[in-house]
Structure 1
């Protein structure tokens, strides 16, 4: 009989465009569901057309807007389910609020809690503002929850190092998300075109600092023929298009609507270089996707790219648009160095693939049960 696991999450299962939620999370849960009896408690509902595969999904009808009522509803289901068949471990995605909730419930029913930190769970960027540590109340809750969790997980060594700067002394397990190598496949032939094709995949938001990316690209096109394709939803009120016009690169940049995750490999295959200049990433799954497809990575020292290091890509500190442009123009003269970085990045993704993530999380479950 499968051991029973309770998973808590704010949202990210079966929601959003194409009902794919956060693809990496959905992929991980699908893998865990082959080994465990999983109940997912989500504050945000899935889309009406979403059908969970291999696990149970609980959320309140989207007509109920109160977040408090939605959590209370989930608590009531949780305790009933636990009485009928006790949970062995409570697992959460994001430290706030789901992580804090899973820790509290774990203490109540005397079961271990495993908190998997994501996104802004380990940072404060006051200029935006972004991150749980920008709010004193949330920061106190998170510090308490992180310290009382049975195991605290991060998705990159970079993220773990950021926690230390905010006084989190608890030891963490670093478990990155791995890609599905059957979807994101390596394409060898590249860089044999007179026009260098750049790609950027991601939400258009302040944390991605896409102005730095566009500034770097505007410097590059002064020296070589180049195009930039930007794939992803606009949550920035058209700001990127405005910047393109002000930088005089609007004829070199193409915007593509969000695509199903499984379709992104075709876009990576049609680009030589992936640009990603975030102020912060806990991991930055696009780094892994691009690397697996053989697209040279160029970006800022954040998330997974910081962990991979300069053997795997072109790296600058956040905001350094001029230096990034200079490094890209320089490496384009060095085909052997390009090849070495692409292959090193590929090896990284082959080692840390989707099976790796499932095995690591499963091993942690078994250790705490």
Structure 2
């Protein structure tokens, strides 16, 4: 079974955490017998902006065209975008970039059996163009904003529905995403629920970490939809707490300025880059973790926190209520600082069974996810 994974959400030498949830699932698949895989992970570039240090375009210019990750060939062809314009069809540009590197990715008349596309737009639409051009089966994975945001936009929705019509199987990482796609008219028999996984052993190994009283943690990109500002505003009314924020993004400077304005900077630690292997001990040392997203698919940060035994306080959106229960966390009635203050105070006072929280996550592991994935691919073929 020769799989071509196509997605822009895949780690590279400049951003080793990008799309780590995609890589983790597929690495578990790679460990199965009788399978092989190649990755095409296109990288966008903009002329001139690529020379501006500190921008993502500058970093993208320094990503190697081809690399080997854990024995898997990963290709990073470039495609042109012009931010803020509609002159370029991004999905078409990604597909053309992928097409150009196929002769090098599959030399000597080698071929692939199936295209495995992650994130419906623009990645999944580009994966559809590749699969259709080469008359190959297509399996797409819906992951969150591709359904919750892009399918609410007219042109992207039309392109996504065309790709979904061609796809033989569509994987949804939460029931909420599956329900939304059914609402868009996608046949239910095409849709398969397959939650993200975690490595329970990897996260349970951090249980020896000493829990720091009143220590809060949030992990995620520093972008508006993640709602970090609500956490900072809540911290003003939680004078006993300190907060660690792990992540990078466009709002980093703004959030640091807000922490200073609110006079809470001494109690807030910003950590831009934490190796994935170090995350378990950060989760395990926290009293609870927080996620204030406005929309989600099935966030791995919630699964990882629970696998480490750390309860979660989160917004009631997307697939989050499918895994958060009264035994492992608190769902917010509203997305604001006041609701968060009340929830955090309740979480700090609650006698959580952290060992049980972790234990309950053991069935949701990557090896079992990989076996289910292979069956989905087999059915598609």
Give the alignment's TM-score, normalised by structure 1: 0.83
Structure 1, residues 207-260: CA drift from partner, whole Å, max 9, x if none?
Answer: 101122223332232xxx211111111321522223223433223212122211
Check whether the contact 2:225–2:293 (CA below 8 A) recurs between aligned residues: yes
User: Structure 2 vs 1, CA of residues 69 and 111 (structure 1 numbering), >3 Å: closer, same or farther?
Assistant: closer
Deviation at 1:365, TM superposition (A): 0.8
Aligned to 1:127: none
Cα distance change on mapping 1:260 and 1:320 into 2, 3 Å: same
Q: What is residue 252 of structure 1 aligned with on the other side?
A: 267
Equivalent pair of 1:297/1:314 in contact (CA under 8 Å): yes
Q: d(CA) in 2 for partners of 1:55 and 1:332? A: 44
- Do the aligned residues in 2 keep the contact of 1:315 with 1:324 (CA within 8 Å)? no
Query: Which among 356, 369, 376 is matched to residue 357 of structure 1?
Result: 369
User: How far apart in 2 are the matches of 1:16 and 1:207?
Assistant: 24
Q: CA RMSD of the aligned region, Å?
A: 2.9
Give the structure 2 partner of residue 10 of structure 1. 8
3-state secondary structure, aligned to 2:361: helix
State the partner residue of 1:87: 112
Contact in 2 for aligned 1:115/1:152 (Cα 8 Å): yes
- Decide whether aligned partners of structure 1 residues 138 and 69 sit closer, same or farther in structure 2, where only a CA change above 3 A counts: closer
Distance change in 2, residues 1:155/1:70 (3 Å): closer
Instruction: Tell me which residue corresponds to 1:58.
Output: 75
Structure 2 distance, partners of 1:317, 1:143, is 33
Q: How far is the alpha carbon of 1:332 from its aligned partner?
A: 3.2
Matches within 5 A, 1:1-369: 3-17=1-15, 19-34=16-31, 35=33, 36-44=35-43, 47-48=63-64, 50-60=67-77, 65=80, 71-78=95-102, 81=106, 84-123=109-148, 131-171=149-189, 172-185=191-204, 195-221=213-239, 225-311=240-326, 312-335=328-351, 338-339=352-353, 342-343=354-355, 345-369=357-381
Cα deviation for residue 314 of structure 1 reads 0.7
CA distance in 2: counterparts of 1:227 and 1:208, whole angstroms: 19
Contiguous gaps of at least 5 residues in structure 1: 124-130
Alignment partner of 2:242: what SS?
strand
CA drift of 1:308 comes to 1.0
Distance apart, 1:315 and its partner CA: 0.6
Gaps of 5+ in 2: 44-59, 82-89
The number of aligned residues is 349
**Structure 1 position 306, deviation (Å):** 1.5
User: Structure 1 residues 71, 331: closer, same or farther in 2, change over 3 A?
Assistant: closer
**How far is the alpha carbon of 1:361 from its aligned partner?**
1.0
